[in-house]
Amino acid sequence: MKEKIIEKSAEMFLNLGFKSVTMDDLAQEMGISKKTIYSHFKNKTELVHETVMSVFHEITCGIDHIREQSKDPIEELFEIKKFAMVHLKYEKSSPQYQLQKYYPEIYAAVTEKKFENMNECTVANLERGVATGVYRSNIDVPFISRIYFLCLSGLSDESYFPTDRFPKIKTMADFLEYHLRGIVTAKGAKKLDTVLNQQEDA
């Protein structure tokens, strides 16, 4: 039952927001009593924490699976973006904003984990891109990796990127192209154009 509660919580939190969903809402949606929820989680903060870490683990495992396929570095980034957008449901709410505002300690903990994981992933992607000739050999890998992380995190800030003006899916796609245009070689630019054309046709 605990796993089912976490699964439903993740769905509701990501669709409606961490603050918006109450324990009553969750109990009603699942057709169970609040007492059942509280038998597994002492309060909503604990539920949010376990749900956030569960979603983080699921996304990390999914990204690791994509990386294991050893795709072209450019294709890999597009596959990761697609996977993350589907699982985080960015179009329906701003879960990161609500998490940061109402559960700052949980937000800080998961952000640290996200940076560690994403930095390792991005550095590996950049180094492989340089080795295969699709990224420029003179790029500063640690600098670009950190800039990439900060920019992706910033895109979720509603105060700078309100969804009514900057739809999440388009904004993420625009940023990924912006990122790649700054580091690709001529060979990489051709590959990027091919991938973008395939995205448009899909």
Q: What would the pLDDT profile of 93-120 be if each residue is shown by its tens digit?
A: 567 778 888 999 999 999 999 999 999 9
What topology does CATH give the domain 2-201? Tetracycline Repressor; domain 2 (1.10.357)
pTM of the model: 0.88
Mean pLDDT of 21-38: 96
Q: One-letter amino acid identity for 73?
A: P
Question: Which alpha helices (H) appear in 17-139, and where do they start and end?
Answer: 23-30, 34-38, 44-68, 73-88, 95-102, 104-132
Residue 10 CB: number of other CB atoms within 10 A?
Answer: 19
- Per-residue pLDDT tens for 81-99? 999 888 776 545 567 778 8
The domain locations on the chain are 2-201
